[in-house]
Homo-oligomer: A and B are copies of this chain.
Amino acid sequence: MSLFRTQVQKMEGYTPGEQPQESGWVKLNTNENPYPPSPDVKEAVQKALEGRLNIYPDPLATEFRKVASELFQVDPDWILPGNGSDEILTILMRTFVDPNEIVSAPYPSYTLYETLAEIQGARFQKIQLQPDWNWPVADALEVAAKSKILFVPNPNAPSGNRWPDEDLLSLIPTEGVLVLDEAYGDFCDRPHRCEVLKAGFGEKIVVTRTLSKSYSLAGIRFGFAVAHPELIRGMRKVKDSYNCNTLSLAAATAALKDQDWMQANTNRIRTTRNQLITQLSDLGFEAVDSQTNFVWCTHPDREHERRYQELKRRKILVRYMKFSLEEGVLDGLRITVGTDEEVGQVVDALREIG
Closest to A33 in B: B54
> A344 within 8 Å of B by Cβ?
no
> A70 within 8 Å of B by Cβ?
no
Chain A: residues with Cβ within 8 Å of the partner, total of 79
CB of A221, distance to nearest CB on chain B (Å):
4
Is A54 a contact of B83 with CB atoms below 8 Å?
no
Is B53 a contact of A216 with CB atoms below 8 Å?
yes
A198-242: which residues lie under 8 A (CB-CB) from chain B? 204, 212, 216-221, 231, 233-234, 236-242
A52-83: which residues lie under 8 A (CB-CB) from chain B? 52-60, 83
A162-193: which residues lie under 8 A (CB-CB) from chain B? 175-177
Is A218 a contact of B56 with CB atoms below 8 Å?
yes
- SS of A interface (majority): loop
> A114 within 8 Å of B by Cβ?
no
A7-65: which residues lie under 8 A (CB-CB) from chain B? 8-9, 11-14, 16-17, 19, 21, 27, 30, 32-37, 41-42, 45-46, 49, 51-60
CA distance A233 to B13 in the complex (A): 8
> A245 within 8 Å of B by Cβ?
yes
Closest to A177 in B: B3
